[in-house]
Amino acid sequence: YLGPQPRLLTRYRLTDSITLYHRIQEDYMAWAERTGGSVVELHAYCYKEREFPTQADLLDTFEAELYEIVPSLQGAKVLHRQLVNQKNFAGFPPGSFANRPQTTTQAPNLLFAGDWVRMPFPCGLMERAVSSGLLAANAILQGEGVQRRPILSVNPEGVLKI
């Protein structure tokens, strides 16, 4: 038993995604090389507002979870901290997968792309938007007899099985 509201992909109360930009983007890599610093982004999609009623609650929880995820950052001097709290993300309740449209349709040249479409492989919100755009573009390219772009994905097995 995982409790009343299990976190199936992470064990953290708030953080469900972390990006260490100083490891993947050239500008941030150069800055990190010069300064010894890090550029970190934490995400919490669709968190329960009643569990984090204030911005301070969000920031404190993010900070505690960051130090648990990346212990080497504990004690680092924070140069900038910004909380962006938006309510414009698509939400998809359990059971909604079957009702989402696929990228291709029966109508010629009518294609769908975005974080709301059904995908043939597992991917998250932004990844779904990008990947579905590539699938739609590939459908057009195939119709024109042009080489399609390869799309890489995780193997849909285990917890990632659709």
Comparing 89 with 51, the larger pLDDT belongs to 51
- pLDDT tens for residues 52-72? 999 999 999 999 999 998 898
Q: What distances in angstroms separate CA 29 from CA 39, 50, 69, one per listed residue?
A: 9, 37, 20
pTM of the model: 0.57
CA distance linking residue 89 with residue 126, whole number of Å: 10
Average pLDDT over residues 5-14: 62
CA distance linking residue 119 with residue 117, whole number of Å: 6
What are the sequence ranges of the domains in the chain? 7-89, 97-154
How many Å is the Cα radius of gyration of the chain?
Answer: 19
- pLDDT tens for residues 116-133? 899 888 887 788 899 999
